[in-house]
Amino acid sequence: MVMPLNDPSMLRSLAADSQSLDSLRAQAKQSPDKALKAAAQQFESVFLNMMLKSMREATPQDGMFDNEQTKMFTGMLDQQFAQNMATRGVGLADMMVKQLSRNSGALDMKGAAASERGSVITPASLATSSAAAIPSAYNADFQQAFMNRMLPHAQQASQPGGVPVHMMLGQAALESGWGKHEIRNADGTNSHNLFGIKAGSNWNGKVAAVTTTEYENGVARKQVQNFRAYPSYAAAFQDYAQLINNNPRYAEVLQQGGDHAGMAQAMQRAGYATDPNYANKLVQVMSKLDVKS
Q: Interior CA angle at 18 toward 17 and 19, to 5°?
A: 90
Q: Tens of pLDDT along 77-127?
A: 777 766 777 676 667 777 766 666 655 443 343 433 443 444 333 333 333
The per-residue DSSP string of 182-232 comes to: --B-TTS-B---TT--B--TT--SEEEEEEEEEEETTEEEEEEEEEEE-SS
Alpha-carbon gap, residue 218 to 200, rounded angstroms: 23
Alpha-carbon gap, residue 213 to 130, rounded angstroms: 14
DSSP state of 277: T
Among 227, 238, 133, CA closest to 179: 133
Radius of gyration of the chain (CA): 25
273 or 21: which leads in pLDDT: 273
Instruction: For residue 44, indicate whether it is catalytic.
Output: no
Instruction: For residue 116, indicate whether it is catalytic.
Output: no
pTM > 0.85: yes or no = no
Q: Tens of pLDDT along 216-238?
A: 777 888 888 899 999 999 999 99
Q: Residues 214, 216, 259, 275: which is the catalytic one?
A: 214
Q: Which domains does the chain have, with CATH numbers?
A: 8-102 (no CATH), 112-286 (1.10.530.10)
Q: Residues 108, 239, 275, 290: which is the catalytic one?
A: 239
With cut-offs at 50, 70 and 90, classify the pLDDT of residue 35.
Answer: low
